[in-house]
Structures are given as structure tokens and as C-alpha cells.
Structure 1
Amino acid sequence: MRSDNKLRRSVLLRSGAAALLVAGIGAGVASAAQTVTLTETGSTLLYPLFNIWVPHFEKAHPGIRVTTQGTGSGTGIAQAIKGLVQIGASDAYMSNGQLKQNPGILNIPLAISAQSINYNIPGLNGHHLVFSGPVLADIYSGKITNWDSPAIAKLNPGVKLPNHKIIPVHRTDGSGDTFIFSQYLSFSTPEWNSKVGYGTSISWPAVQGGLGAQGNPGMVEALKGNKFSIAYVGVSFTKQIDAAKLGTAKLVNRAGKALLPTASTISAAAAALGDKTPADERISLVFAPGANSYPIINYEYAIVNKKQPNKATADAVKTLLTWASNEGNSEQYLKQVHFKALPKKIRELSAKQIAQIGS
């Protein structure tokens, strides 16, 4: 009898352990099911900031995981439209034509950024050469071919410019950096606007010796590897530009003043056009009015579909974008990539757009 009782107790204990094990497995499955993974891809200018943001965001929101890729703004927009990713990062807003074909897509600013013009000229990389939109347009269209061109010399009196061919470098991938650079050329140079125009991808004029590169990392590498080259690079790569001891230009703005991309000149340009930002937040901040406005700045956009596949994903996307445009806009994050925070009014517009996301 005592032996039977022991046997029954043993069976009960084993059954209880099995039940606990099954419950534990079930809890693990439930826990895994509660974790939502979001994919962000696109802008190589915004990519460094996302990589700074993600660990802090995930720590505050343990049920959400975010993967990031720097593939270029064109890819970010395209994959967000196709539903292949939840967030397409872009330095460029979608065109009217794109939005007409895809009315369910939102363009939501996350921060304010800028672009620098950089060069690799032996002996002059420590000097801030001055360039204007028309001079850069002539360089990238092949009309100005030498560094000691009279047009460049006129902007840089007293500087001994080398008698050497210029190597202009442009992006080969669909790029928001190309979008804002070509806008600067278009807005300042009517001939470029009529013959080439602007976009994330454009038909670059054939220039002997010109080079193509992918992403901002590729632009920096092209500059480093080619003396007498010039390129446009997002300011989030300032550390790499400085480490390579490359030159950074002053650009002539709409008021005719030559400026570097600094916190104050970027903020001045943003302030000049911020009040003109429409409800859908698609606006160019390039070539803004004002004596202290740096001429190539932009909103960094999250391209997002209003309709997500399910409520959990929609809620996670809203949580991430709300965090990025508020807590993520703090100086501790933005200063690392030389970005500026969104003004209160723009954050309010973004909040209204984020509220439209659902399943």
C-alpha cells in the first residue's frame, strides 16, 4: 500500500513538472509573439542617426525590435511603397506624381539635416574654398574643368588654385542627397534646372574623368582615393570627412553670402521656411531666404504606409516615430551626426500624420 502511494505521488509530481514545462514553453511562445520587429531602410545620411537611436529606443520599448539598413533614399521610398519595410528613410519627400499613385503613403519628418560640399585638393584641404550653385552646376555639367578656372578663382581671391583637372563625384544609387544637391543647382541656376533638373536619380551630364559612388560612405571613399576630386556628402559623415582631412566648402546662399554648415546656419535656414511647411510636410528647405541661411538643408523623412498589416505592427510604428520625433530629437543624439531638432510646430504636424497610421 505504501509502495502504491509512492508511485501515485511520483506520477503526480512528474505530471505537475510536465504541466509547468508546457506552461513555460507556452509563455515563451507568447513572449516571442509579443515582440514586433520593424525594418527601416533607405537614406545613408539618416542611417547613422537610426543606429544611435535604436539601442536607446529598444531599451525603453523591449517589445519592439528595429533593424536598419543604409540603402539610399530611392530604395527606402520604393520598399516602403511596396510594403517590404515598415519605414523607408529618405532625405527627399515624395513627388506629387509618386503620391498620386500611392495616396496612402505618409512623409513624416524626423529631424533636420544638411549637406556639405567636400573636396580633396593637396595643400588646400585646410582652406574653406567658396562655391556657388552656378559654379557647381558648371563643374557637374563639364563646363568648368580645371581648379584654376576664372569662375572658381573669382569666388576665392588670393587663393593659389592648382592647374589640374577637377574630378566631380556623384551618387549612382537613388539618393536623397542627390535630390537636395540637384535642387540647390536647379534653384540657383536656371540652365541646370531646364536641362537636368532635380530628383533622387537624375541623368548626370557626361563629364570626362567624373566618378560615381554608392551611398555617403562611397562618396567619402571616392574623395579619399582621388586627389583633386569634389563631392556632396551628408553632414552625418562629418567625422569621416575630418578624419580623412578633406576640405569643406563655404556655399553661397540665396542672399549671396558664403557660409559653412554650422548649427546656427542650419537653424537659420530651417526657421526661414518652417512656417511654410504644409500639413503633409512635403517641402524643400533648400536655398532658403535669409543672410544666415545655409543653402542645402532638409527634413529627414520616414516614408510610411498609413495601413500596416496588423494592429501590433501599426502600434509599434507609431511608437517608434513618436519617440524619434520627440525623445529622439534631443541634443544628446542629434549632435553626434550634426543634425538639428524639429521645431515644436513641425513635431505637432508629424504627430497628426503619425496618428493616421493603423491597420
Structure 2
Amino acid sequence: MGVSTLTKASKGSLVAIAAALLVSYAGYTGLQSHVASQAAKPAASTVRLQETGSTLLFPLFQAWVPAYKKVAPNVLITPAGTGSGVGIQDATSGAVQIGASDAFMSNGQLAKAPGILNIPLAISAQQIMYNLPGVKQNVHLKLTGNVIAQMFEGKIKYWNDPQVAKLNKGVKLPHLLVSPIHRIDGSGDTFLFTTFMTDTNPVWSQTVNLGTSVTWPQVQTSLGAVGNNGVVQQAQKVKGSIAYVGISWLDNGLKAGLGEALVQNKAGKFLLPTPATISAAAGQMIKQTPKDERLSLIYAPGANSYPIINYEYAIVNKKQASPAVATAVRNLLLWGISPTGGNKQMFMNKVHFLPLPASIAPLSRAQINEIK
């Protein structure tokens, strides 16, 4: 290689190196400027949201909180399982931003609290559980709504009553007093249970009726409990007990040794609450959902429909304390009903819920977007 060729090559290399250094320096200074500008920006203000209410929804909110913190680190959510009655009261009074409820608000309640939204987040169910020594957990007793109602009314006093025995031929039932357990706090689960009782027992509809709180029949062996957790604990202690339990507490009930009943549906079939039977019931009812989404899904028609299912509601005031709070509530609830967010199967499976149906999600989104 000649000297002139080497000189030309060296000059070309030096030019290339210089150009590269200039680009690197420009990139470095640009990065410095970006970092400096980001550092100069104030951190997003912390927004605190409180949720109280349904103990059936509570395990879902507990699962949502750490997951949503990764989505919106500046939003701090404090959930509390206080019963649907308290959730409704807290949301309508402005004590919290979100009330959780298994029951939608009545026309009378809404008349006293204008601007309150009832927003479905998912679909859940309720099972009937019992503590019956001698009956294995994998033997699911068959019970009708009418028989369950008579147990809670004190008319069926023993587990080997002829009406129970007729439904469970081949099962050795103990001569054990029936101890019905009911909620003593304002409860959406009570609303679901008493709605089912009203639909299946004519006397119940004329006496106890339905609601989040009712006057229970005076039965010597009956017991009260607070929250689904309290019901499961009470049932575990008391032999001969029968109780209504929200499905998010099913696993707890089974771990406590409780049995789970096959409940008769409107078509006369005895079913457990499973994804298939809950979905079948929902499919029969959701097309009736009005714009404000207040609808009972209890006692749906259809051979494969489980009889006690419901929408799980967020009770929220349209008018929040500030734009920042309104935005935080909107974003949380929109994430909550999203199939890639809070309605992901991983969250639904934990609590045995079904995701909000695709045909209902737009109704919930429309309500959520009213929050200002």
C-alpha cells in the first residue's frame, strides 16, 4: 500500500470517528436534558380511594389492590369488607368513593340519593353450606328453596325430616337439630338469599320478604354472624348448621369441612354453582339488563341455570370531591371491568366469579364515564 493511499484511509477514518463522537456527544447531552427535565417534573400527586361494603366482593378487591398499584402507583386503595348495607350507606353519604354491594339499590333508596350509580363489575353466586357429621363432603345433599326456607322458619327442625329424606334417598341423615345461620349485618348476600326464598316459598314472601336486612323468624336454634367469614366460622363450630355463603368464600367453607348443597333450580334440576351453571343462568337473564343495570338474576329459567347468581356492584356517586379523585375512580373501575385488567381470568378464578359479559361491559363503561 502506498503512503498516499494510507493517508487517505487515515483521514477517512478520522473523519468517521469524529462524526461518531459528535453523534454520541449529542445523544449524551440530549439524554442529560431528558433526565433533567424528567427530574424537574413534580411527581404525580397521591390519590387515596376508600372502598367499603360487600364481603363477597372484598376478596376480589384485595386481589386487585396490589395488581393495580403497578398500573397506577400514585393511587392508594383501601378496601374493607363491612357488608353491602354499609357499603351503600358509605357511598351515598360520601364517606367513601366506592361502595361494594351484591344488591342493587331500590327505587326508594335512589330517590333519597340522586346521582348514585349502580355499576356491575362481574357476576357471582351464592351456595348453601352445612355442617352435618356423618355425611361426607363429596356427598352433596339435594335441597329445594322451599325446604331451605322451612329450615330457616323453624318448620323443619331435624335433618332427617321426611321432606329432606325424600330428596336424599340413600343418604343416612342424622337426627340432629337444624341450626340456621343468618347475617346480622346489612348484607347483599342476605338480599340474594331472601330473594330466592321469596321466589320459592309462598309463606316467606308474605312474612320475611326480601332485603339486605330482614326480621328473621324466631327460631330457638338460629344463630347470627357478621360477614361471610363470620358465617363460615360459625357454621364450622355448630353441628347441624345450615348457612348461605357468598361464592368467594366457597374455598374457605370447604377447608372448614362444610358440605355444599345441590340446589334445585326453576326447571327442577339440582345443581352446584360452577362456571357452566352460573354462565347458563346469566345467559338467560342478562339480555333484560336495563341502562342503569339494576336487575335481579335470581332464579333464572333453564335446565342448567344455577338459581342464586347476581351482578356484583360498585356503588358510586357521579359527583366526586375533585377532578383528580373522579379520574382515579373512573380509571380503577374501567381497569376493573377490562378483560385485560381486573376481569382477567386469574382474578375471577380466585373468587369463582365470571367476568362481566361482553354485551354488558359497554353499559358499565357508560356509567363509569359519568363519574366527574
TM over 0.5: yes
Give the corresponding residue for 2:266.
Answer: 254
2:93 is aligned, of 82, 91, 106, to 82
Give the corresponding residue for 2:24.
Answer: none
Give the corresponding residue for 2:110.
Answer: 99
Give the corresponding residue for 2:304.
Answer: 292
Q: Distance in 2 between matches of 1:309 and 1:103?
A: 16
Distance 1:217 1:160, change over 3 A: same
Aligned letter for 1:305? N
Q: Distance in 2 between matches of 1:280 and 1:153?
A: 44
Q: What do residues 92-120 of structure 1 show as CA deviations (whole Å, max 9, x unaligned)?
A: 00011101111210000011100010000
Pairwise CA distance, 1:291: 0.5
2:151 is aligned, of 139, 161, 165, to 139
Please give the secondary structure, in 2, of the residue aligned with 1:344.
coil
Please give the secondary structure, in 1, of the residue aligned with 2:324.
helix
Give the corresponding residue for 2:6.
Answer: none
Q: Distance in 1 between matches of 2:291 and 2:106?
A: 15
Give the corresponding residue for 2:140.
Answer: 128
Q: Does 1:50 align with 2:64?
A: no
TM-score by length of 2: 0.87
Q: Does 1:283 align with 2:287?
A: no
Q: Distance in 2 between matches of 1:321 and 1:348?
A: 13
Q: Distance in 2 between matches of 1:27 and 1:279?
A: 46
Aligned letter for 2:365? A
Q: Does 1:65 align with 2:76?
A: yes
Give the corresponding residue for 1:111.
Answer: 122
**Map 1:12-51 → 2, pairs under 5 A:** 31=43, 34-51=45-62
Structure 1 runs not aligned, ≥5 long? 1-25
Give the corresponding residue for 1:10.
Answer: none
Q: Distance in 1 between matches of 2:40 and 2:84?
A: 40
**Map 1:199-218 → 2, pairs under 5 A:** 199-218=211-230
Please give the secondary structure, in 2, of the residue aligned with 1:178.
helix
Pairwise CA distance, 1:295: 0.4
Give the corresponding residue for 1:174.
Answer: 186
2:161 is aligned, of 124, 146, 149, to 149
The question of whether the paired residues in 2 share the 8 Å contact of 1:119 and 1:125 is answered with no
Give the corresponding residue for 1:183.
Answer: 195
Q: Does 1:341 align with 2:352?
A: no
Q: Distance in 2 between matches of 1:288 and 1:167?
A: 28
Give the corresponding residue for 1:198.
Answer: 210
Give the corresponding residue for 2:8.
Answer: none
Pairwise CA distance, 1:31: 3.3
Q: What do residues 40-69 of structure 1 show as CA deviations (whole Å, max 9, x unaligned)?
A: 010000000101011111111112110010
Q: What do residues 13-60 of structure 1 show as CA deviations (whole Å, max 9, x unaligned)?
A: xxxxxxxxxxxxx989x537x110100010000000101011111111
The question of whether the paired residues in 2 share the 8 Å contact of 1:125 and 1:245 is answered with no
State the number of aligned residues: 332
Pairwise CA distance, 1:150: 1.0
Q: Does 1:162 align with 2:177?
A: no
Q: Distance in 1 between matches of 2:119 and 2:111?
A: 17
Q: Distance in 1 between matches of 2:214 and 2:96?
A: 25
Structure 2 runs not aligned, ≥5 long? 1-38
Q: Distance in 2 between matches of 1:27 and 1:311?
A: 24
Give the corresponding residue for 1:357.
Answer: 371
Q: Distance in 2 between matches of 1:240 and 1:65?
A: 28
Q: Distance in 2 between matches of 1:145 and 1:277?
A: 39
1:331 is aligned, of 322, 338, 345, to 345
Pairwise CA distance, 1:125: 4.0
The question of whether the paired residues in 1 share the 8 Å contact of 2:134 and 2:174 is answered with no
Residue identity over aligned pairs, in percent, reads 55
TM-score by length of 1: 0.90
Q: Distance in 2 between matches of 1:148 and 1:100?
A: 47
Q: Distance in 2 between matches of 1:265 and 1:100?
A: 35
2:237 is aligned, of 225, 234, 237, to 225
Q: Distance in 2 between matches of 1:137 and 1:309?
A: 44
Larger radius of gyration: 2
Give the alignment's Cα RMSD to 1 decimal: 1.4
Q: Does 1:272 align with 2:272?
A: no
2:321 is aligned, of 303, 309, 331, to 309
Please give the secondary structure, in 2, of the residue aligned with 1:237.
helix
Q: Distance in 2 between matches of 1:82 and 1:203?
A: 25
Q: What do residues 213-251 of structure 1 show as CA deviations (whole Å, max 9, x unaligned)?
A: 000000000011111111011111122112112100000
Distance 1:186 1:27, change over 3 A: farther
Q: What do residues 267-312 of structure 1 show as CA deviations (whole Å, max 9, x unaligned)?
A: 1111110110000000000101100000000000000000001100
Q: Distance in 2 between matches of 1:144 and 1:31?
A: 63
